[in-house]
Amino acid sequence: MIRIVERIWDRLRGGFFGLVLGYEKSVTCSVTGVLKRDEIGKIGEREVKRAKRYRRRLSVVVMDLDRFKEINDECGHLLGDVVLAEVGRVLLACLREEDYVGRPGGDEFWLIFPETSTGGGEAAARRCMEAVRRELEVVGFSYGVWGRALDNSCDETFADFVRHADRLMYEAKRKFTR
C-alpha cells in the first residue's frame, strides 16, 4: 500500500511541478525571462491597491534601451534578442525579492518597487543601469521614475504610474539625444 501511495505521489508531484512550470512560461517573456505585459500590469494594479490600503509608497520605473534599433539594424534581430535576454537577466539579478520587472514590448522594461520612495526608485534604477552597462557595454538606457505615497483617497492607477514614468523617460531620452 505504501508503495502505491508513493508512486501516486510521485506522479502527482511531477504533474504539479509541470503545471507550475507551464504557468511560469505563460507569464514570462520567452526572450528575457521577465514578466510579460499582462502579468506586470496585473501585479502593478495589485501593488497600487496594496499601497493605497496600507498608506505606503510605490515607485514605478519605465526604461527604454537607447539606440536599440541600431543594434537590430546593424547586427540583426537575433543579436538584438541576445541583448534583450542579457538585459532581462541582469535586471532580475539587481532586484530585491519583493520587486518586479516586466517587458511590455520591444526594448522597454517596467520595474515596480513596492515600499519605495521616488528617491529610492531612482537609486534602484541607477543601480540596475550601472549593472547593465557593466555587463553590456554597448547598451545604454533612458528611464523615468514615478513614485509617491498612496492612500484610499487617491484615484491613481498603475496605468497612471506608467504614463507619468513614461513621460519622464521620454524627457530624459530627448536630453540624451541632443
Three-class secondary structure assignment of 34-90: CEEHHHHHHHHHHHHHHHHHHCCEEEEEEEEEECHHHHHHHHCHHHHHHHHHHHHHH
Q: Is 81 marked active-site?
A: no
Burial class of 21 by CB neighbour count within 10 A (0 to 12, 13 to 18, 19+) = exposed
Picking from 72, 71, 76, 104, the residue whose alpha carbon sits closest to that of residue 88 is 104
Strand 57-66 to strand 100-105: parallel, antiparallel, or no bridges (unpaired)?
unpaired
DSSP secondary-structure letter at 152?
A: T
> One of 64, 99, 107, 166 is an active-site residue; which one?
107
Picking from 117, 145, 115, the residue whose alpha carbon sits closest to that of residue 129 is 145
Active site (catalytic) residues: 107
